[in-house]
Structure 1
Amino acid sequence: MINGAITPGLWRRMACWIYEGILLFGVVFLAGYIFGTLSQTRYALDNRHALQGFLFLVLGIYFVWFWAHGQTLAMKTWNIRVVGVDGQKITQLRALGRYVLSWVWFLPPLAAVYPFQLSGPEITVICTGWIAVWAILSRFHPQNQFWHDVLAGTRLVHSAPMSR
């Protein structure tokens, strides 16, 4: 606990992370549909890199906007809030930095498997293993924060549910 703010447990943060992925399915689906319609893409591998760049931007807009307001939809459900190290709301610039740094969940294992042209199941095992390692590394931080949050100058804290 720092500044009276309690860090949510690792299991709760990871459950929120998984739930966020489920919610993002709709965002990615809609963005992919819009991209495919506007670019008249007829085959899945056509414009693949442009689609990946577009999705990177769409996800960035989603996360930066919600984090600058304190919580994503999944974070509201799990009563978790992202704040600066001072306990205040974060700016859009800090949220953007957190977004870029949060790619450490995926980029290292994907960069490691790229030269070997591995199959889907092998990539899944390596990515899942890295995600587990990265999550467990938060146990070595004094406030149990994820290391990309430390680098971004942000913290995840417990947020009391809003009254109806």
Structure 2
Amino acid sequence: MQRRFPETFDQVKTASPFKRLGALLYDFMIVVALWMIIGFVAVAINHGQAQTSPLFHSLLFIITFCFFAFFWTRNGQTLGMLAWRLRVQTPEGEHLTLTQALIRFIVAGISIAPAGLGYLWMFFNKEKMAWHDLASKTCVVELPKPSKKTKAKKA
């Protein structure tokens, strides 16, 4: 059974492609940092030699998936999405399942391959959905700005 987010779908709007690409850029920088840390450890373990084995590349792939799947299934927001007030969810306002996260991750990689056509699809699709949104039956929404009352409660 999927968990619903506390906000209803009518309180949020479809995220703009520009904000989505901004969040993607933030997340890309975090993923590259993760890859660098893993690469440093791999080189150290390999006595200073570059690591080029398929096992190493598979490890990078799995860790990258785990990064995105953790955030997408937990609260619907990666760190980049959090900064841009975006969230990935089902059209019904529910958390993603691990299967949806896997489909989204794999199709997002495929979307980049043909010159980013799968991502550019957002600019032409009426619902501003990319290929990986369509394939995983998910959508990215922009969350409303916190009200002054909400900010006062947190302080």
Pick the TM interval, shorter chain. 0.7 to 0.9
For 2:32, which of 25, 37, 59 is the aligned residue? 25
Q: Percent of pairs identical after alignment?
A: 22
Distance in 2 (CA, whole Å) between partners of 1:76 and 1:41 is: 39
Alpha-carbon deviations, 1:105-131, whole Å to 9, x = none?
33x34xxxxxxxxxxxxxxxxxxxx12
Distance in 1 (CA, whole Å) between partners of 2:17 and 2:135 is: 18
Provide the secondary structure at the position in 2 that maps to 1:87. Answer: coil
Distance in 2 (CA, whole Å) between partners of 1:149 and 1:35 is: 34
8 Å CA contact 1:12–1:78 kept in 2: the answer is yes
Whichever residue aligns with residue 57 of structure 1, its letter is: I
Distance in 2 (CA, whole Å) between partners of 1:21 and 1:47 is: 21
**Structure 1 segment 111-150 matched on structure 2, within 5 A:** 130-131=115-116, 133-150=117-134
RMSD: 2.1
The count of residues paired between Structure 1 and Structure 2 equals 139
Residue equivalent to 1:113: none
Alpha-carbon deviations, 1:65-99, whole Å to 9, x = none?
11002111111001000001212111122112211
Matched, 1:92 2:98: yes
Residue equivalent to 1:155: 139
Provide the secondary structure at the position in 1 that maps to 2:14. Answer: coil
Distance in 2 (CA, whole Å) between partners of 1:27 and 1:154 is: 26
8 Å CA contact 1:41–1:47 kept in 2: the answer is no
Matched, 1:64 2:69: yes
Alpha-carbon deviations, 1:27-83, whole Å to 9, x = none?
111222333344x25322x43422211100100111111100211111100100000
Distance in 1 (CA, whole Å) between partners of 2:144 and 2:31 is: 24
TM-score (norm 2): 0.78
Distance in 2 (CA, whole Å) between partners of 1:30 and 1:8 is: 32
Between 62-71 and 25-34, report the one with greater CA deviation: 25-34
Distance in 2 (CA, whole Å) between partners of 1:161 and 1:150 is: 27
8 Å CA contact 2:103–2:132 kept in 1: the answer is no
Residue equivalent to 1:10: 17
8 Å CA contact 1:19–1:74 kept in 2: the answer is yes
Distance in 2 (CA, whole Å) between partners of 1:91 and 1:161 is: 26
Q: Structure 1, unaligned stretches of length 5 or more? A: 110-129
Higher helix proportion? 1
TM-score (norm 1): 0.74
